[in-house]
């Protein structure tokens, strides 16, 4: 089964005052994706400037649409997408 990996990097230099609210809403969105079977994994980056999301059952176009729904999307510095093939 194919997977889409999205690597999100955010600007951390000038975070908005409501950043904690944004994070809470972000967690709600990704929890919903997990429940719907769209998100396989979420990894926070140890540099605290982003996350790695592994989508399943979607193509790259749909993964991009989903990423645009994230509350952190407006704070993005970059997003990289990789098509993966799960071996085991």
Chunked into runs of 10 residues, the chain (88 residues) has average pLDDT values of 94 93 97 97 94 96 98 97 92
Integer Cα distance of 47 and 26 in angstroms: 18
Domain residue limits, the chain: 2-9+19-85
pLDDT of 2: 87
Which option is the CATH number for 2-9+19-85: 3.40.30.160, 3.30.70.1060, 3.30.70.141, 3.30.540.10? Answer: 3.30.70.1060
Neighbouring CB atoms inside 10 A of 50's CB total: 22
pLDDT of 88: 86
pTM for the predicted model, two decimal places: 0.92
């Amino acid at each position: 089964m194919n997977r889409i990996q999205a690597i999100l990097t955010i600007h951390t230099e000038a975070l908005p005052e409501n950043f904690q609210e944004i994070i809470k809403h972000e967690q709600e969105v990704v929890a919903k994706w997990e429940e719907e079977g769209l998100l396989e994994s979420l990894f926070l980056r140890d540099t605290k400037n982003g996350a790695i999301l592994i989508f399943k059952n979607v193509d790259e176009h749909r993964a991009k649409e989903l990423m645009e729904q994230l509350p952190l999307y407006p704070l993005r510095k970059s997003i990289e997408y990789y098509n993966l093939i799960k071996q085991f």
